[in-house]
Structure 1
Amino acid sequence: MTHPVQTSIINHSRLYANNYYLNLYQAFINTEDGEVYEYEIEADTFHDATEKAEEYAFSLGVDITYIEVYHMV
């Protein structure tokens, strides 16, 4: 008689070994027309997330009032 055994590969994976966790940021791009565009951004630092949000804002081709970036917990 055989018994199935299930083991977790997460404990032995590279993600677990390096203690790598996703850094997610939420960006809101507010336009002069009152529209708000929302993005989820994966970045290493707050600075990198802000730069990516600015790139997204530039690609929209609209007049930007301000950009908000928040770290998602």
Structure 2
Amino acid sequence: MNKKGRLSTKKKLKNGYYMSISNSISSKPVRIMRDTFEEMKLVEDKFRNRDFKYLGLVKDNIWLDGEKKGKTTN
């Protein structure tokens, strides 16, 4: 039986700085977004005893820096 209807679309990321934070290597990371670089630095300082990874800056659904530089967010 085939499903009928509209296909699902992926959510677009908001403009801002993205980072992932996890308690240890075994735990699943949480992705956090902040609007400014200063806010991102405050989060990095707050979670300094956890695994912190900078993912990059997103503007108009394109990664401007980080591992996925130049790629779309979808």
Scaled to the shorter chain, the TM-score interval is 0.3 to 0.5
Superposition TM-score, scaled by structure 2 size: 0.41
Superposition TM-score, scaled by structure 1 size: 0.42
Higher Rg of the two aligned structures: 1
